[in-house]
Amino acid sequence: MFVHRLWTLAFPFLVEISKASQLENIKSLLDIEDNVLPNLNISQNNSNAVQILGGVDALSFYEYTGQQNFTKEIGPETSSHGLVYYSNNTYIQLEDASDDTRIDKITPFGVDSFILSGSGTINNISVGNQILYNLSTLSMTPIFNQSLGAVQAVLADNSSIYFGGNFSYNNGFMTGYSALIWDSISNTTQLLPFGGFGENSSVNSIVKLNNDNILFAGQFYTLDDPSALISSSNNGTNSTSSLNATTLELGQRIPLRYASWDSQGSTTFASDSLVCPNTNEDAWLYPDTSGSLVCNLPYEVSPTKIRLYNSQSSDSEISVFQILTDPSSSIMNLTYLDPLSGELKNCDEFCPLYSRATLLSASQNVSSSMDMITFIDNNKTDVKWTSDFQDFAFVNELPVSSLKFVALNSYGGSVGLSGLELYQDTFSTYANDSLNEYGCSALTNDSSSSTLSSNDWYNGLTGESYIAAKYVPDQNEPIPRVKFYPNIIHPGHYTINMYTPGCLQDNTCSARGIVNVTMWNQQNNTIMKTYLIYQNNDNLKYDQIYSGYLDFSPEIVLEYVSGIYTTNTATVVVADQVNVITVSLDAFNTLSDSSNAKKETLLNGILQYQKSNFTSTRLNETKVGNTTLNLFPVKNYPKNSSLYADIYDNKLVIGGVSNRISIVDLNDDFEVTSSKNQTIQGDVHGITKTNQGLLIFGDILSSNNQSAVFLFNGSFENVFNQSRTVNSALNISLANNDFIVLDNDYVVNASSNALIRNSSSFSLSLWAAGNNGDGDVLFSGAVSHMQYGNLNGSVRFLNENEIEPLNLEGGIVPYLGAYLNESATAYAYEVDSLNKIYFSNEVYPSWNWSSGITQMLYADNQTLLAVSAGSSTTAELSIFDLRNLTMIANETLGSNARINALVNFEKNCSMLVGGDFQMTEPNCTGLCLYNYESKTWSTFLNNTIFGEITQLSFTNSSELIISGLFETKEYQSIRLGSFNLTNSTMIPLLSGSEGKLNSFTVTEDSIVAWNDTSLFIYRNQEWNITSLPGNDSSISSVSAIYTDIESNTLNKRGINNVNNGSILLLNGNFNISQYGYLQSMLFDFQKWTPYFISETTNTSNYNPIIFINRDVSTEFNSQSPLANVNITVTSPQSTSSQPPSSSASSESKSKSKKKKIGRGFVVLIGLALALGTVSVLGIAGVILAYVFKDPEGDYKPIKPRIDENEMLDTVPPEKLMKFV
């Protein structure tokens, strides 16, 4: 019932809003016209007489051309990649696109434009180039001359448009990564002042903080111009740092004594000299201007920097190089401090190595040794240079098992190195002390070591760094013990971890034991920490044994305690390494205050870009400072995190990894004043701004381990739970409803959090959407929107363009109705393959039929209900007394019979049955009389009227109109005839061999009959044939609706009887190119008007029909007795054989206003024939001037409306007059 409430209640009563600024303009450009419905004078005051039965589930009144494109439920065949415009309940298809086109983002720009981002093409314009779509002109302009690739964020900041994502752009001087600016006024493209965010970066979000500050969020840690991150302070203090910049080493040199080398082709190679550099001699020489050297490490490490000593010979000094590593099999990105410019720079494929002479000259020109060093990675890595070497830091800290140094060019004729050293930012002390050795005089802080007990220790698996010993207690063996001596040089805060190798690889899980790890203060011989560690871990693990301040080198002892499993006699004790991680150093406090100290602003997925910093002319102005906003993710998220961000109510919401969402409070200067974390399970993949707040989605699990989407509007609310990751969340407002679309698969109502499933009333496919705030919505996708949904099979009209479900008790879906009285209606419905009748006063009779009910006739004076039912093989007639709900009679006709029409002769207790059947006893063909009192069949007029009868209706108690295709002894191929019951005469009204008429209706001034494809209208003294518009259109039923003649919606025409205010309501299927597929049309005898489109329920076996719930008893019940039913039908004798003119008179005839009854003018025919008065015929003549011709005469078709030549036999009025 949710969708019903959403569409049928909210939509019709929407307050009329001012139309969007571009709606009328777009309609004019595309020749879209409003469909103005005439006033049909349908209201609740007429007891909701107009109804639709038969399984209607959804319906839309036709309001504008093109509406049909948005009424068919979306299916696999639906094209959903183009552009759709929406405003004020109007959908317009602007552009089509193939399935390989994908618009990922639509960003409003200005009052009439949107920016399209994505891939593929629209009208042969690449979406990857970013398209400016203008609604005023419906024009598209590519913004860039190249495709940007993946654009994930777009921000319109006045005339400047910021693009962010994962792409690169070269402006001819520099390549920028992941960010770009387009100036819409000058139509120029420019990089950001700092270029971009470095290779392999990505920008996920761009948020405007104010006119001067823009926030970028994504995955990045540097800038294309890293000098923007360096700040210099010259505060004139004379304090001396305890750190000597020339000798300072924050990292640990990685021992390469046991590395293996591949120096093939070299003329000189001495590994000992290479790893223990002597600047006065070369350790590696290659006799060409390019060459390579490979170092295979004894175990896998994660180096932070490499130090290179260029050749001592000017002829073999290397000018350009690159580093490749395994197992990543990639060229490494490096960061270095340029000795010439003093700026921090990046390189990868072509990294410069300066000559000794250049380095010496540069070192002599610095004002301080601090100009030769900088600190990165939160002051954990030092990058420096001297006259002897240069440091190159690894941008990405990756595991390395093999390193290849490639010299690409030389300053002379060969290439060579005096030394090569690798460093890591952690201090590792190995149980295997040989791994702690360098084989040369080491730096001071490389002097970590270990000692072992005298057990039989052996090396672990090949390629691994651990050792092991088997120990059996009480065997006079020493207890296995390892002492680690990590060397702490600089006082500060540290974290110490103990590593334990896994047991699965060496298959020792069942033999592992428990060890004790104790940390000692060697200064006072006291225990600082002690832990028990179980060593039966499947894979490599570490246990944190200390975190805090240290100003001395501790001793850490690992010692056997016991086995784990009592069944084992021997225990395998393993020992690997102690790892010391630097958190912060005291000396940096004084270093920061020293003269000309250079500091790098650290980045981790957030950049506060202050535009004015890059336009200031002041010296030493910080471009990108260590603001609390820039430092927040550095301190709170893992390195190289991919972050998303947006602002809600002055709160910055940040999401990414680490099972949290951060809510950051900012002051007016965008300084972080406080923050709190919302704990989640999983990672954030995006943040989308909606009308209700911020949607946060991704691989997030709720408390019941289902994927969750959160809405933040000051607090967190879960709006979605499904067993899947959510990668896209969009917000769109349609028809006064706010929707959230997730992965173009789930649609959620934003106000109720209810899940909306695609149905015949509403379905949505959405790839991207944008709203400019002025009522213009542009989206890529497809939509099906019916004004009314969940109609439960039947509706009633409240006025000409408003309906509501009939909602019969018990969910009954009727397919046929019959008026009983003002308080009760009989409805036929199907349930469990049985057909039954329900009375609207909540009476359920027990009758049922196996076949569908085709006709219901009610005789009020007798309280009698006649029901016909039938299938393709049989027909059944049942008659009931409604006073006691008893069956009076029940008859089954022969095979292949069908009952189409019933009329009742009350005085004779007889029912005249018309249809398509053949009876032998009595001999009846298509028309037979049944006496429900005696329960006997008899011929009607000796079966002198025979054929297929489709409809029977009284114009008065003695005049019967018959349609179908039938004959009498005197006339053949009668399609419509008038039969006088008093004198048993038949007047053919329409004849011809073109097939049967399906039915007819009578208005005040017209007779309207129809077959499947045409209307036959007697009006203004002539018969006209009007073919249905379109192709393959067909009629199910025609009803006459009386309009408000004062309404201006009906054109006032100077043609007779048009102003009388009747209009035809056609039900069926109409296929018209301009309007599409319709289920109802209106015809005012001159113009066709599309009325509504409807969809049927999946459970209904019937087609929707129009049911006029009013008293029609006089049309199907006669009070006149049948005098003699066995006489022979005759024809009236004409006094003249001269046929009348076939052209209608154009003279206007005045008429008195008549009471509007359904078939009133034919009643006057009956009165004229019955009373035989010329005066009465004169009153009826306006309506009954059939302009009939001789039975053999030719019919003149209407001009110019008909498109067929059809011969109609008619009776001229002169012959009719003979019987008056």
Of 208-217, 705-714, 836-845, 861-870, which range is least confident? Answer: 705-714
CB atoms within 10 A of CB 887: 13
Mean pLDDT of 72-78: 88
Q: What is the DSSP string of 597-626?
A: EEEEPP-SSEEEEEGGGGT---TT--SS--
Tokens 């001819």 map to which residue? 172
Residue 799: pLDDT above 80? yes
Residue with tokens 């690992």: 558
Range 621-642 average pLDDT: 87
**Percent of all residues in the chain with a pLDDT value above 90, rounded to a whole number:** 60
Poorest-pLDDT segment among 823-832, 932-941, 1055-1064: 1055-1064
Contacts of 1131 (CB under 8 A, 6+ apart): 968, 970, 971, 985, 986, 987
735 has pLDDT over 90: no
Q: Which of 60-64, 151-155, 756-760 has the lowest mean pLDDT?
A: 756-760
pLDDT, position 22: 94
Of the candidates 977, 969, 973, the residue with the CA atom closest to the CA atom of residue 1206: 973
Contact 175, 197 (CB under 8 A): no
Read off the amino acid at residue 1133: Q
Rounded to an integer, what distance in angstroms lies between the CA atom of residue 781 and that of residue 86? 12
Start-to-end C-alpha separation, the chain: 61
In the predicted model, is pLDDT for residue 109 greater than 70?
A: yes
Q: Is the pLDDT of residue 279 over 90?
A: no
* Least confident residue range of 309-313, 1022-1026, 1124-1128: 1124-1128
Contact predicate 346/198, CB 8 Å: yes
Instruction: Report the distance separating Cα 230 and Cα 220, nearest Å.
Output: 16
**826 and 837 Cβ atoms separated by less than 8 Å:** yes
Helices (H), ranges, 1034-1104: none
Quick one: pLDDT band at residue 587, thresholds 50, 70, 90? low
Least reliable range by pLDDT among 5-19, 829-843, 934-948, 995-1009: 5-19
Mean local confidence (pLDDT), 534-552? 92
Token pair belonging to 254:
């990685």
Cα dihedral 76, 78, 80, 82 in deg (nearest 10):
150
C-alpha 486/C-alpha 1206 separation (Å) is: 110
- One-letter amino acid for residue 1117 of the chain: N
DSSP structure string for 342-355: --EEEESSSEE---
Residue 190 has a pLDDT of: 93
CA 188 to chain centre: 33
Q: Confidence class of residue 489 from pLDDT cuts 50, 70 and 90?
A: confident
Tally of CA atoms within 13 A in the half-sphere of 713 that contains its CB: 10
Nearest to 780 by CA among 80, 126, 91, 118: 80
For residue 494, is pLDDT > 70? Answer: yes
- Quick one: what percent of the chain has pLDDT higher than 70? 85
Residue 97: is its pLDDT beyond 80?
yes
Q: pLDDT tens digits, residue range 116-125?
A: 999 999 999 9
Class of 252-424 per CATH? mainly beta
State the architecture of 794-1118 in CATH terms: 7 Propeller (2.130)
Name the band, by pLDDT with cuts 50, 70 and 90, for residue 640. Answer: confident
CA–CA gap between residue 757 and residue 32 (Å, rounded)? 30
Report CA 747 to chain centroid distance, whole Å: 7
Above 90 in pLDDT, residue 1062? no
b or e along 1146-1163 (b: 16 or more beta carbons within 10 Å of the residue's beta carbon)?
eeeeeeeeeeeebbbbbb
**Phi and psi torsions of 633, nearest 5°:** -70, -25
Distance CA 432, CA 469 (A): 12
Please compute the mean of the pLDDT values over residues 195-215 and round it to a whole number.
94
Q: How far is it, in rounded angstroms, from Cα 506 to Cα 960?
A: 104
- Mean pLDDT along residues 1029-1035: 93
- The radius of gyration computed from the CA coordinates of the chain, to the nearest angstrom, equals 47
Average pLDDT over residues 335-347: 94
DSSP-assigned letters across all residues of 207-240 = EE-SSSEEEEEEE-SS-SSGGGGEEEE-------
pLDDT of res. 1149 = 32
The number of angstroms, rounded, from the C-alpha of 355 to the middle of its chain's C-alpha atoms is 59
Q: What is the pLDDT of residue 621?
A: 58
On whether the CB atoms of residues 103 and 81 are closer than 8 A, the answer is yes
- Angle at 134 (CA atoms; ends 129, 136), nearest 5 degrees: 170
State residue 230's pLDDT score: 76
HSE-up (13 A, CA, CB side) for residue 18: 4
Within 13 Å of residue 657, how many CA atoms lie on the same side as its CB?
Answer: 11
| 3-state helix vs strand vs coil in the chain, percent to 5 | 10, 45, 45
Q: Which residue type, as a one-letter code, is found at position 233? A: S
pTM of full prediction above 0.75? no
pLDDT over 60 at 1199, yes or no: no
Residue 865 three-state SS: strand
CATH number of 429-588: 2.60.120
- What is the mean pLDDT of the segment spanning 193-214? 94
pLDDT tens digits, 393-422 = 999 889 999 999 999 999 999 999 999 999
Q: In sequence order, what are the beta bridge partners of 597?
A: 233
For range 671-700, the mean pLDDT:
92
pLDDT surpassing 70 at residue 732: yes
CB 1073 within 8 A of CB 784: no
Residue pair 465/434 in contact (Cβ under 8 Å)? The answer is no
Q: Which pLDDT band holds residue 278 (cuts at 50, 70, 90)?
A: confident
Choose among 519, 518, 501: nearest CA to 573.
Answer: 501
User: How many residues are there in the chain?
Assistant: 1220
Q: Where residue 688 falls among pLDDT bands split at 50, 70, 90?
A: very high
User: CB 480: neighbour CB atoms within 10 A?
Assistant: 25
**Average model confidence (pLDDT) for the chain?**
84
pLDDT higher than 50, residue 538 = yes
pLDDT at 1179 over 60: no
Which residue is associated with the tokens 């500060």? 492
Separation CA 450–CA 525 (nearest Å): 18
